[in-house]
Amino acid sequence: MIPVPQRHVLAWPESGVEMAFRLIPSGSFRMGSRGLDAAEEPTHRVQISEAFWMAETPVTRAQFAFWTETEKIEHENKSKDHPEHPAENLDWRQAMAYCEWLTRTKGNEFPVEFGLARLPTEAEWEYACQAGTESEYYTGDGEAALAEAGWFDEKWAKGSTHPVGQKVRNASYLYDSHGNVWEWCRDVYDPNAYRKRMDGWKAREWTLQDGGDDVEYLTDEDRAAKRNQTRVLRGGSWHNTAKFCRSACRFGDWPDIRDRTYGFRVCLVCGPVAGRGAPSETAAESDGAGAGVSSLLDLASAKFSHAVGRKGFPEK
């Protein structure tokens, strides 16, 4: 019998809103797929070297509103009301800034030794989603299996997001990894990434000190020319057909694009605990825990223009 993973809850008692996390142990898994998409090949063994906590669901509108209202961030979900639905119509920079805000404001409530909230890497995301399975979805193969796990395709999802946590969970006690909303990951999207890795590749550990430039394949030349800036999205959405909701499916878009199908999920990782013990501003600067918060909040509150020519965007 698979043991029930540990659970940790962050709470906003004044409103009754909670954010629950499950402990994902370290381990290895087979990443990618065969014969379905060149960007998912070749399959390769990936080692997740440290345990981390993953939120049970994508960030909900109620959870996201604590940040937007507190920091006066401009944001509006495409569909109105429904606080239990996943937050959407948000970009990668906003998702990053939310995680840093969560570290700053709720870090003293994180599990011991897990002091940083951030977006998962795509390796962590796929590892947590698969939860020991090797099928298309953690419930099996085919549309019937996917229908048990997630909201997908307009004929099933009825043209909208749905409340989180209604479908079958995986063995890690995570919900909505398939469908509902695409989930932003930290990584730059490189369609050739898997062909650059050796079997047994060890997923790099990211921290806030990376300042958001935690990109395995971004060279100094790329940074100078502002190339390869697209970021990874995982899981598919209510708008997509089943093939885009597979555990292995990977897609990328520009970090300032907001879309009615884009959301995110938070994970907690080992690192300095910014909020625990109410450290002074000097202490926060010395350990790097607050690095990049102000700049990312500024970016997130700005009005971003929509890019054109989004190659490979999965319309369905």
On the CB side of 68, CA atoms within 13 Å amount to: 18
Instruction: Give the pLDDT confidence score for residue 74 in this predicted structure.
Output: 85
Please determine, for residue 295, whether its predicted confidence score (pLDDT) is greater than 50. no
> With 60 as the cut, is the pLDDT of residue 302 above it?
no
Residue 219 lies in a domain: no
Q: Which of 10-14, 22-26, 132-136, 219-223 is least confident?
A: 219-223
| pLDDT score of 212 more than 80 | no
User: How do beta strands 250-253 and 231-234 pair?
Assistant: antiparallel
Of residues 168 and 204, the one with the higher pLDDT is 168
Say how far apart CA 101 and CA 245 lie, in whole Å. Answer: 29
pLDDT above 50: residue 205: no
Tell me, yes or no, whether 18 lies in a domain.
Answer: no
Task: Indicate the average pLDDT of the chain.
Answer: 81
Per-residue pLDDT, averaged over 89-101, amounts to 95
C-alpha–C-alpha distance, residues 229 and 180, integer Å: 25
Helix, strand, or coil (residue 149):
helix
What CATH number corresponds to the domain at position 165? 3.90.1580.10
What is residue 314's predicted lDDT score, i.e. its pLDDT? Answer: 56
SS3 state at 36 = coil
User: Dihedral angle at the C-alpha atoms of 205, 109, 94, 18, nearest 10 degrees?
Assistant: 120
> Which residue did the predictor score with more confidence, 309 or 217?
217
Q: Residue 207: is its pLDDT beyond 60?
A: no
Is the Cβ–Cβ distance between 119 and 93 less than 8 Å? no
Is the pLDDT assigned to residue 199 strictly greater than 80? Answer: no
- Within-domain flag for 20: no
Residue 165 pLDDT level (bands cut at 50, 70, 90): very high
Which whole number is the average pLDDT over 162-186? Answer: 97
Q: What is the pLDDT of residue 190?
A: 86
Whether 46 shows a pLDDT value over 70: the answer reads yes
Q: Does residue 188 sit within a domain? A: yes
Residue 171 within any structural domain of the chain: yes
* pLDDT confidence band for 227 (50 / 70 / 90): low
pLDDT reading at 303 higher than 90: no
Cα–Cα distance between 58 and 15 in angstroms, integer?
19
Question: Which whole number is the average pLDDT over 189-194?
Answer: 88
Domain that holds residue 194: 25-207+231-301
Burial of 276 (0-12, 13-18, 19+ CB in 10 A): middle
Q: What is the pLDDT of residues 15-39, one digit of tens each?
A: 899 999 999 999 999 999 999 999 9
Residue 276 has pLDDT above 90, yes or no: no
What pLDDT, on a 0 to 100 scale, did the predictor assign at position 246? 98
Confidence at residue 223, expressed as pLDDT on a 0 to 100 scale: 58
Tell me the pTM: 0.82
Considering only residues 1 and 249, tell me which one the structure prediction assigns the higher pLDDT: 249
The pLDDT value recorded for residue 235 is 98
User: What are the pLDDT digits (tens) for 49-86?
Assistant: 899 999 999 999 999 999 999 999 988 887 667 899 99
**Residue 145 pLDDT > 50, yes or no?**
yes
pLDDT score, position 253? 95
Residue 217, domain member (yes or no) = no
Does 10 map to a domain? no
Could you give the number of structural domains in the chain? 1
Instruction: Identify the pLDDT of residue 257.
Output: 94
CB-CB contact of 186 with 267 (8 Å): no
Dist CA 52 CA 54 (whole Å): 7
pLDDT of 64 reads 96
The CA distance from 268 to 30, in Å, is 23
